[in-house]
Amino acid sequence: MNMSPLQIILGIVLLTAALFLIVVIMLQDKAKRGLSGAIAGGSDNNNYLGKNGAAPKKGKLLSKVTTIVAIVFVAVVVIAYLFT
């Protein structure tokens, strides 16, 4: 099984992105919101919200990081599929 340098690099990037995505998701706020909260029976208690109903800065940052890492993950999977 002979792997090209491109396959090795894509594999390392994919593994790193997957592990980072798992960690970032696990760090997010445990408050049940949105559709999953409605299905699972999450409470409507908004005590975790700050002034004017804004989510805390940490939550916003983790949400953005999660989105970026997920996009990178999907892009690397597509590139790996096309080039291997």
pLDDT, tens digit, 9 for 90 and up, residues 9-57: 989 999 999 999 999 888 887 665 555 555 555 555 555 555 555 556 7
The phi-psi region of residue 81 (left if phi > 0; otherwise alpha if psi is between -120 and 50; otherwise beta) is: alpha
pTM of the model: 0.62
**What pLDDT, on a 0 to 100 scale, did the predictor assign at position 62?**
86
Q: Where does 1-84 have alpha helices with state H? A: 5-27, 34-40, 57-83
Report residue 59's pLDDT band, with 50, 70 and 90 as the boundaries. confident
**What pLDDT, on a 0 to 100 scale, did the predictor assign at position 74?**
94
